[in-house]
Structure 1
Amino acid sequence: MSQNKIKVVVTRKLPDSIETRMMELFDVQLNLNEDPMTKAELIEAVKTADVLVPTVTDRIDSAILSQAGDSLRLIANYGTGVDHIDLASARQRGITVTNTPDVLTEDTADMTMALILAVPRRLAEGAQVVHEGNWKGWSPTWMLGHRIYGKRLGIIGMGRIGSAVARRARGFGLSVHYHNRHRVHPEMENELEATYWESLDQMLARVDIISVNCPHTPATFHLLSARRLKLVQSHAYIVNTSRGEVIDENALTRMLVAGDLAGAGLDVFANEPAVNAKLLNLKNVLLLPHMGSATLEGRIDMGDKVLINIKTFADGHKPPDRVIGEAF
């Protein structure tokens, strides 16, 4: 497959430097505005493209893939998570799917740690008071939060991001606890001074802060269900920078409204960009617009990964970041 004949359709605006390099290498159809493609536009794209470059906001389901032309051989996802792509349909059609692992680990871990610090210390509330001109001066009992040092952090998913969060947490004096599909290597466990919990239920009942860092899969959908959320101590906080679907958002909202949880820091939601209206009115909830990985450096690194995957595929070789596929 000759690189200069490959038609690449990019669904969202990417950093200028990445788009420039794509135009130099391929026949590229860019999305020059910040709006996502409609379903009809995605269907038109897969009919003619050799390579599709979607993002997390693009639902590439079986209905779209069923309209794909025979030329579509690669979906080079701009992002790590691929839960928005129907992998079974892609595999059935012989379409290779790649992603951009590793490059967002540190950025997402930074944002996770920022929420772990910000929510118990009420940073969003304090900033709002100052911005609105309502600060009346210092008082010894005003805007009291809770100390982070010495608290128990429970990490759900000790993969790349989870372990990066654990390293940061140790620096702030938190004790690290974790639940994972498989226990990590003893060397890593010792390095992080981490305590493994085979039972998620038992860990949830014993930690002060919960950080959700597992991917969204059928097995993790509503992993934090209404039943499990009731196991969490009422003084605890929940932070989610993974995917909104991992938590039963309605159950979480009910508990926050009722005061059965101390607070939450949420960067992801079940029906983005829609957010449960009841969450918007809660002072103990810090809401962010899915910006956990939003750094210029990270976005450029993601683009570099996409370029390498496309170029390698175009040269007839296996892309380095394959999720599925042997379409050669």
Structure 2
Amino acid sequence: MAKVLCVLYDDPIDGVPEQYARDEIPRITKYHDGQTAPTPSAIDFKPGELLGSVSGELGLRAFLEAQGHVLVVTSDKDGPDSEFERELIDAEVVISQPFWPAYLTAARIAKAPQLKLALTAGIGSDHVDLQAAIERGITVAEVTFSNSISVAEHVVMMILSLVRNYLPSHEWVLKGGWNIADCAARAYDLEGMHVGTVAAGRIGSGVLRRLKPFEVNLHYTDRHRLPEHVEKELGVTWHPDVESMVKVCDVVTINCPLHPETEHLFDERMIAKMKRGAYIVNTARGKICDRDAIARALESGQLAGYAGDVWFPQPAPRDHPWRTMPHHGMTPHTSGTTLSAQARYAAGAREILECWFSKRPIREEYLIVDGGRLAGAGAHAYSAGNATSGSEETSRLKTS
């Protein structure tokens, strides 16, 4: 018998929906690169239901309890008195989501002698101290590609929202106004602009493919260069580093993982290299950008807009400057947790658990850390180290 500790975000304030806006969602069986969607032996949920909140339980309870395991689900994750910290002591498996991350710091890992598997329901395992996991021999896995296209769609939406000045224009409608000049004063066409992505993995290349029909000039930088035929297909220009790319771009979208090499990549110095009036869209991780440098650049006009759904820490403290800075389009971390995406990452979490408990190999593409080293997708995307430092700031939410 194993104890599985699952940290999920809170239910809707009005309760779990009794009915949904749509009766069904499209069934996705494979992704653009040929990887198949998750293939568990069965699922105990209806695709399209809310699975990522506490009551949804990722659809895992019946499966786990039928095997004699104990499932503990909570949203209380921050601070030494949290339910997460109390239950962690004897947990073998911890499941978390990037949208409401349970930060597995080295200190927390040290308090969990039975912990053997840290599973991300979604993509992005930077809320785990990967160096500590490597040293302890803990397996870290995530459901690679399960919500990558969900995020890519969100990026395109946010780019258009910023460039076309959508949110302030919508606000005039809510206020009862018809202020066309006020709306148009910061609105531009995306057509003809130069748009670049930091990283062209599954999300970044998904963004490029979706932007190509907009007749923009596409750019990318990545330590793994795309094949020549893909560059030609997309009409995209490769740059050897971030600095050389941002100098020519009107819009920069950040789609790289967070690890020590990318932490605070977009600081005062990097932003100063960008065109005046450029836009940044960040759906990767909030800590890739320097919080205060972004706010200052929007106030000075060096940046014309900043949008994204990732913050550090998460949830963001109420006094986080990104909540009140000018010309922003921030949302809570929602890009990868649509009802469509939840069906895939919940199925992927079950597939990983089925493999784990039956002692079968977990898919290589789902592995981040295995056998005391970076492995699978982790070896491709991450660097060993710790990006969880500072996450304890979330405990301020309970008192502020």
Q: Same fold (TM over 0.5)?
A: yes
Report if aligned partners of 1:15, 1:299 keep a CA contact under 8 Å in 2. Answer: no
Structure 2: runs of 5 or more not aligned: 9-53, 373-400
The alpha-carbon deviation at position 246 of structure 1 amounts to: 0.7
- Paired amino acid for 1:64: R
The alpha-carbon deviation at position 254 of structure 1 amounts to: 0.6
State how many pairs are aligned: 320
1:245 to 269, 283, 287: 287
The alpha-carbon deviation at position 294 of structure 1 amounts to: 2.2
Partner of 2:23: none
Report if aligned partners of 2:57, 2:73 keep a CA contact under 8 Å in 1. Answer: no
1:6 to 2, 19, 31: 2
Mapped partners of 1:248, 1:55: distance in 2: 23
- Secondary structure in 2 matching 1:48: coil
Aligned positions of 1:33-48 closer than 5 A: 34-36=75-77, 38-40=79-81, 41-48=83-90
Partner of 1:97: 140
Partner of 2:362: 319
Partner of 1:198: 240
Mapped partners of 2:207, 2:239: distance in 1: 17
Report if aligned partners of 2:152, 2:203 keep a CA contact under 8 Å in 1. Answer: yes
1:73 aligns with 2:69: no
Aligned positions of 1:1-328 closer than 5 A: 5-12=1-8, 13=54, 15=56, 18-22=59-63, 23-31=65-73, 34-36=75-77, 38-40=79-81, 41-56=83-98, 57-70=101-114, 72-133=115-176, 135-136=177-178, 138=180, 142-272=184-314, 273-274=316-317, 278-320=321-363, 321-326=366-371
60-69 or 23-32: which moved more?
Answer: 23-32
- Paired amino acid for 1:18: G
- Paired amino acid for 1:186: E
Mapped partners of 2:2, 2:362: distance in 1: 15
After superposition, the CA RMSD in angstroms is 2.2
- Secondary structure in 2 matching 1:164: helix
- Secondary structure in 2 matching 1:101: coil
Mapped partners of 1:175, 1:260: distance in 2: 21
Report if aligned partners of 2:220, 2:237 keep a CA contact under 8 Å in 1. Answer: yes
The alpha-carbon deviation at position 18 of structure 1 amounts to: 1.2
* Deviation digits for residues 63-96 of structure 1 (CA, Å, limit 9, x no counterpart): 11111133x3222222211111112222222221
The alpha-carbon deviation at position 17 of structure 1 amounts to: 6.0
Mapped partners of 1:168, 1:130: distance in 2: 29
Against the structure 1 CA distance between its residues 26 and 107, is the aligned structure 2 distance closer, same or farther, given a 3 Å change threshold?
Answer: farther
Mapped partners of 2:113, 2:352: distance in 1: 21
Report if aligned partners of 1:6, 1:314 keep a CA contact under 8 Å in 2. Answer: no
Q: TM-score, normalised by structure 1?
A: 0.90
Q: TM-score, normalised by structure 2?
A: 0.74
The alpha-carbon deviation at position 54 of structure 1 amounts to: 2.3
